[in-house]
């Protein structure tokens, strides 16, 4: 998820464009506008329109820049993509919905956001429209809650020890970015020189603070509803937990009958979506050479078979244990 490249690259851009085929026109939803790479490429094609979402208000600067070149064809929503259901889109020809779940180079290097373990100062990690910060979580949640966050969102094997040592330290003084990194480095005896010791804990905190699991699940559900027939839902993930959720959701809607019970049975297809490729698309050798941080990217996509706007899925039940962990934030 972290990018250390000197500039921002839109990961798997050519592959995304070949899948969503903007040359045929239509409206596309870019759920994670970021630096606008996908949006700009789509708008290069005539008869296209983009509705762009981003919770980070800083992206509005890039939106304004692109809008000058493509007036009246870019609509920006300063919202979380889980708010897709608040848009009245049934009259729009939604031909594609795109999620790029990575962070941009600009966001990672922003000292105010404090997303990186190379940052200094307060623990923040808020991407916008948040309810609490990483500092709130680290200094106020109990050790069991911290352990579960590190274990399930970061796959951190030393989660319990790190949580205990955080608790010891915060009794003396409030923990900031540098002191958290020091605690992790002192706790983890086995060093992996290819991956920074704090990588997994910082990933876990970013997921928790921004409620990325709940956001992703709701975003996928609502995106599935707004798409028109033959529309494409495409998602680029950057770590195994995201990919696990997307893979399950896509399989659920393409292998099981998932239309709402309230839709007349005679008009229902066997499944709502079809999968063209079961294995994810990964960056080419050329892209990896240009942007090494794309190495963990995986692209999955599904195509809607008919115009249905109600569907049923058990994805929330499947990942309820992760949603429950994110709900620890309600006490902050």
Choose between 3 and 9: higher pLDDT: 9
In a domain, 323, yes or no: no
Element (H, E) at 160: helix 159-170
| Domain end marker among 181, 209, 237 | 209
Q: 78 lies in which domain range?
A: 13-106+212-310
User: Torsions phi, psi of 246, nearest 5?
Assistant: -65, -45
Evaluate whether 310 touches 268 at the Cβ level (below 8 Å).
no
Q: Percent of the chain scored above 70 by pLDDT? A: 93
* Structural domain includes residue 317: no
Residue 320 in domain: no
**What was the pLDDT predicted at 262?**
64
pLDDT of residue 3: 40
User: Based on the domain organization, do 219 and 99 belong to the same domain?
Assistant: yes
Q: What is the pLDDT of residues 257-269, one digit of tens each?
A: 666 666 665 555 6
Q: Which residues pair with 274 in a beta bridge?
A: 303
Residues 90 and 161 both lie in one domain: no
Task: State whether 254 and 195 are in the same domain.
Answer: no
For residues 150-179, give the mean pLDDT.
97
Does 201 lie in the same domain as 217? Answer: no
Q: Which of 184, 209, 234 is the last residue of a domain?
A: 209
How does DSSP assign 282-296, residue by residue?
A: ---HHHHHH-GGGGG
Q: How far apart are CA 166 and CA 323, in angstroms?
A: 23
Q: Are residues 66 and 41 in the same domain?
A: yes
Question: Do residue 70 and residue 100 come from a single domain?
Answer: yes
Look-up of token digits 């008869």: 47
136 with 157, same domain: the answer is yes
- Please report whether residue 238 resides in a domain: yes
Tens of pLDDT along 180-196? Answer: 999 999 999 777 777 88
On whether residue 111 sits in a domain, the answer given is no
Same domain, 101 and 37: yes
Rg (CA), the chain: 20
CA distance 109 to 35: 14
Residues 6+ apart with CB under 8 A from 126: 113, 133, 134, 209, 210
Kindly tell me if the per-residue pLDDT of 330 is higher than 80.
yes
Q: What is the mean pLDDT of residues 14-37?
A: 97
What is the reported pLDDT for 259?
64
The percentage of the chain sitting over the pLDDT mark of 90, rounded to a whole number, equals 77
Q: Is 320 exposed, middle or buried (0-12, 13-18, 19+ CB in 10 A)?
A: exposed
Q: How many domains does the chain have?
A: 2
Mean pLDDT of the chain: 91
Identify the domain boundary among 209, 242, 264.
Answer: 209
> Within this chain, do residues 42 and 157 fall inside the same structural domain, yes or no?
no
Q: 117 in a domain, yes or no?
A: no
Indicate the pTM of the whole model: 0.93
Q: What is the token pair recorded at 47? A: 């008869």
- Give the pLDDT band (50/70/90) at residue 109: confident
Mean pLDDT of 236-261: 88
Confidence of residue 5 (pLDDT cuts 50, 70, 90): very low
**Which pLDDT belongs to residue 237?**
98
Asked if residue 250 has pLDDT above 60, the reply is yes
166 and 189, same structural domain? yes
Q: Stretch 261-287: mean pLDDT, rounded?
A: 82
Q: What is the pLDDT of residues 67-83, one digit of tens each?
A: 999 999 999 999 999 99
Query: Residue holding tokens 């970015």?
Result: 177
β-strand partners of 311:
259
Given a contact cutoff of 8 angstroms between Cβ atoms, the answer to whether 28 and 94 are in contact is yes
- What is the layout of strands, in order, in the sheet containing 94-100? 74-77, 48-53, 26-30, 94-100, 232-237, 298-304, 273-274
Find all residues with CB under 8 Å of 210, minimum gap 6, and list them. Answer: 55, 125, 126, 127, 130
Give the confidence band of 296 by pLDDT, cuts at 50, 70, 90.
very high
CB 309 within 8 Å of CB 225: yes
> Do residues 234 and 29 touch, judged by C-beta distance below 8 A?
no
How far apart are the C-alpha atoms of 133 and 271, rounded to whole Å?
Answer: 41
What's 58's domain CATH number? 3.40.50.150
Helix (H) or strand (E) holding 99: strand 94-100
Please check the confidence at residue 50 and state whether its pLDDT lies above 50: yes
Rounded average pLDDT over 22-35: 97
Same domain, 74 and 19: yes
φ/ψ of 32, rounded to 5, equals -135, 75
Task: Give the three-class secondary structure for 142.
Answer: coil
What token pair was written down for 159? Answer: 């989660």
Please tell me the distance from the alpha carbon of residue 319 to that of residue 288, in angstroms, as a whole number.
32
The answer as to whether 217 is a domain residue is: yes
Whether 112 is in a domain gets the answer no
């Amino acid at each position: 998820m972290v990018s250390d490249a000197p500039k921002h690259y839109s990961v798997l851009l050519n592959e995304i464009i070949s899948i969503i085929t903007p040359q045929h026109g239509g409206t596309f939803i870019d759920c994670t506008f970021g630096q606008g790479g996908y949006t700009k490429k789509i708008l290069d094609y005539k008869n296209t329109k983009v509705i762009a979402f981003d919770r980070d208000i800083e992206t509005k600067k890039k939106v304004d820049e692109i809008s000058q070149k493509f007036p009246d064809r870019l609509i920006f929503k300063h919202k979380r993509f889980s708010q897709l259901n608040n848009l009245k889109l049934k009259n729009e020809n939604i031909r594609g919905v795109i999620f790029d779940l990575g962070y941009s180079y600009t966001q990672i290097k922003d000292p105010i956001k404090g997303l990186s373990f190379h940052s200094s100062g307060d623990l923040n990690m808020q991407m916008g429209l948040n309810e609490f910060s990483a500092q709130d979580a680290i200094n106020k949640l109990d050790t069991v809650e911290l352990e579960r966050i590190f274990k399930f969102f970061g796959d951190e094997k030393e989660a319990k020890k790190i949580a205990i040592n955080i608790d010891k330290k915060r009794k003396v003084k409030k923990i900031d970015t540098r002191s958290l990194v020091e605690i992790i480095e002192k706790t983890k005896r086995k060093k992996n020189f290819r991956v920074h010791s704090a990588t997994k804990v910082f990933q876990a905190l970013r997921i928790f603070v921004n409620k990325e699991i709940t956001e992703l699940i709701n975003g996928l559900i609502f995106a599935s509803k707004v798409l028109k027939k033959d529309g494409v839902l495409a998602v680029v993930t950057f770590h195994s937990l995201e990919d696990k959720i997307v893979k399950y959701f896509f399989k659920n809607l393409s292998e099981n009958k998932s239309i709402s019970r309230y839709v007349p049975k005679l008009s229902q297809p066997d499944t709502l979506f079809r999968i063209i490729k079961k294995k994810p698309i990964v960056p080419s050798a050329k892209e990896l050479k240009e942007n090494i941080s794309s190495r963990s990217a995986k692209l999955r996509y599904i195509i809607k078979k008919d115009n249905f706007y109600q569907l049923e899925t058990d994805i929330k039940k499947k990942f309820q244990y992760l949603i429950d962990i994110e709900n620890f934030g309600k006490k902050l």
